[in-house]
Structure 1
Amino acid sequence: MSAEVVAEVSTEEAKIQINPLSAHIGAEISDVDLSRPLPQAQIDAIRAALLKWKVVFFREQFLSHEQHVAFSTQFGELTVGHPVFGHVDGHPQIYAISKFRKATRFEGQPLLRPWMGWHTDVTAAVNPPFASILRGVTIPPYGGDTQWTNLVVAYERLSASLRSFVDGLRGVHRFAPPQGASGTDAFDKAVRDQTLVSEHPLVRVHPETGERALYVSPGFLKQVVGLAPRESQALLELLWEHITRPEFTVRFKWEPGSIAFWDNRSTAHLAPTDIFDLDFDRQLYRTTLVGDVPVGPDGRASVAINGSPVGAAAAVALN
């Protein structure tokens, strides 16, 4: 990265460096200490970088759980760690991601597709999270990389005719807790007794930038409203394959103390599966920020079919 490019994306008042990692997504931010409260100029600069680059990364940030939560709350309200898989004891806002939780995620799948595993977090909720902040603690010496894709660029790279078509479509997103799983107290209304189901636009207008993004999470989107089943399947598979084109993505190699902060409204991501073939442990921790209700190009907001909004404040606002 040339000094000229770094200077263009640096914020003098905030005194941080922002280094892009690929053409369309991902930037590494340095010269900032996340263990302490940030001045407003740095908060604003980090948020601006997040909106521009969709996911931002930090290195050598060895935070405690308390510091992780404190950093996260400077950008919004936090949800409970995870509606089904719980949270860290004594830290209800932190979710532990270990190597073994999803080691059998693809068992029983007769056919693997290139987009399988890619997802935008909790799109089955009517107000999916705004963002997630993931902290690496125990990291294998190789393997375990995470990937993100830019859903705004993916939308823009569709043909004009296809953009016009998908602009008016909506899809049903669904999540059912795994058999035997129990929800945490804060999310019991959403996931304990019923499946989360919401109808979202296939194209989401970003509430801060006005950009349009393909809102087609392969992990949760089940069907396109108004299309025949075969039509829906064909269209979704085309869009899912499209959003995972390599040129739209960034791949991040974790280190102890690394942090990834991504905009869940304009990205999808892919957790690694190669770690299941290695003998190394892997432990990360995540906080999640409460999101708003998506709106499509026609101005229509998403609707909940089953389940409650994510986050106490969001639930009150929508009641």
Structure 2
Amino acid sequence: MSQTIPFSCHYFPSREFRAGARELRRQPDGLSGERPYTLFTLKPLGPIIGAEIEGVNLAEPLEPDVKAELQRAFLEWKVLFFRNQPITSEQQLAFAREWGQLEKHPFLPKGSADEITRFEKDATMTGNENVWHTDVTWRLEPALGSVLRLSEVPPLGGDTLWADMGAAYDNLPEEIRQRIDGLSAIHDFTPSFGRFMTPEVLAAKQEEFPAAEHPVVRTHPETGRKTLFVNAAFTVRIVGLEEEESEQLLGCLFRQAHVPEYQVRFRWEPHSIALWDNRATQHYAASDYFPNRRVAERVSIAGGRPY
């Protein structure tokens, strides 16, 4: 039996105009972000998300105290950026392993190792990542995070944006937060990757990677913060709602990643590195650099079941 939850989209009209301050917290209540970082320099790129790290050499193994301080910065800022890091693919893999086991992507082109996804984009191979999304939420256990390294950067364009989905949740009207807490949604690779497959391959992959059900609002396993956990690339419907209501509610929730106050935008340079928390963010790769080339390699860190 479908669950009936009266919902009005007037909170998020298609021509939304909401002036005034938003509630912007880097961390949930009870976690202090005021402790200084003493083993490297941290330069915030915005008030709540994104910071550049200077003074850490990613070509070398991390000392335990440096790793611990980077972990604290990772949870506080959600996305960490490192410039001037001419590291190899093997060193990128080693850095990613500092955060856990690595996973392979079954659909995207591989680089020099199975755990490396290579994005080599030019005028003949256009970018398809210009939609707000969280990586591999169609997995039963979506990725914890990713390490992205750019080796070739266009002269203009090709930026990546990240959105803090904890801030997105915080700023929903209380009535909407109450309505979506406890709901779950279905995540499926079919609308995105499936459109490039033959029917036979698609059927086999759907059996190997069945659609996953995750909470609409997940709790971050390390900070305890509630974050909005639906995305336009992979979330297809909310369990228990009629199709029209599900589409309307998802459309409203998807648009929360579009709010600039929740975002950071990073201008890539050659040998720049980004490490992001897939449990707390969405991201969007601007596809505005053609016919120039953009070459990147990504390594993803295996995660756990959202709750």
> What TM-score do the two structures reach when normalised by structure 2?
0.82
Residue 77 of structure 1: aligned partner: 101
Residue 305 of structure 1: aligned partner: none
- What pairs up with 1:302-313 in 2 under 5 angstroms? none
* 1:49 to 2:67 alignment: no
Change (3 A) 1:46 1:66: same
Give the superposition deviation at 1:191: 3.3
Give unpaired runs (5+ residues) of structure 2. Answer: 1-32
Amino acid of the structure 1 residue aligned with 2:120: S
Between the aligned partners of 2:128 and 2:159, the Cα distance in structure 1 is: 17
Amino acid of the structure 2 residue aligned with 1:286: R
Amino acid of the structure 2 residue aligned with 1:65: S
- What pairs up with 1:122-201 in 2 under 5 angstroms? 122-176=136-190, 177=194, 178-180=196-198, 191=205, 193-201=207-215
RMSD between aligned residues: 2.4
The match for 1:243 among 226, 251, 257 is 257
Residue 37 of structure 2: aligned partner: 11
Give the superposition deviation at 1:56: 0.8
- The sequence identity of aligned pairs, in percent, is 38
Give unpaired runs (5+ residues) of structure 1. Answer: 1-6, 107-115, 296-319
Give the superposition deviation at 1:193: 4.8
Q: Tell whether the 8 Å contact from 2:85 to 2:273 is kept in structure 1 after alignment.
A: yes
* 1:259 to 2:273 alignment: yes
Amino acid of the structure 1 residue aligned with 2:227: A
Amino acid of the structure 1 residue aligned with 2:302: V
Query: 3-state DSSP class of the match of 1:175?
Result: coil
Between the aligned partners of 1:141 and 1:99, the Cα distance in structure 2 is: 14
Between the aligned partners of 2:295 and 2:86, the Cα distance in structure 1 is: 13
Counting matched residue pairs gives: 270
Between the aligned partners of 1:203 and 1:36, the Cα distance in structure 2 is: 37
* 1:62 to 2:82 alignment: no
Query: 3-state DSSP class of the match of 2:244?
Result: helix
Q: Tell whether the 8 Å contact from 2:162 to 2:284 is kept in structure 1 after alignment.
A: yes
The match for 2:299 among 287, 297, 303 is 287
Between the aligned partners of 1:217 and 1:144, the Cα distance in structure 2 is: 21
Give the superposition deviation at 1:8: 5.3
Amino acid of the structure 2 residue aligned with 1:124: W
Residue 103 of structure 1: aligned partner: 126
The match for 2:222 among 196, 199, 208 is 208
Residue 23 of structure 2: aligned partner: none
Q: Tell whether the 8 Å contact from 1:124 to 1:174 is kept in structure 2 after alignment.
A: yes
Between the aligned partners of 1:221 and 1:99, the Cα distance in structure 2 is: 26
Between the aligned partners of 1:26 and 1:117, the Cα distance in structure 2 is: 19
Amino acid of the structure 2 residue aligned with 1:83: P
Between the aligned partners of 1:143 and 1:9, the Cα distance in structure 2 is: 35
1:261-319 Cα deviation digits (max 9, x unpaired): 000001000012112xx322110111000000000xxxxxxxxxxxxxxxxxxxxxxxx
Q: Tell whether the 8 Å contact from 2:160 to 2:266 is kept in structure 1 after alignment.
A: yes
Change (3 A) 1:167 1:30: same
Query: 3-state DSSP class of the match of 1:236?
Result: helix
Between the aligned partners of 1:120 and 1:104, the Cα distance in structure 2 is: 16
Residue 308 of structure 1: aligned partner: none
* 1:270 to 2:293 alignment: no
Query: 3-state DSSP class of the match of 2:143?
Result: coil
> What TM-score do the two structures reach when normalised by structure 1?
0.79
Give the superposition deviation at 1:243: 2.4
Query: 3-state DSSP class of the match of 1:161?
Result: helix
Change (3 A) 1:209 1:104: closer
Query: 3-state DSSP class of the match of 1:118?
Result: coil
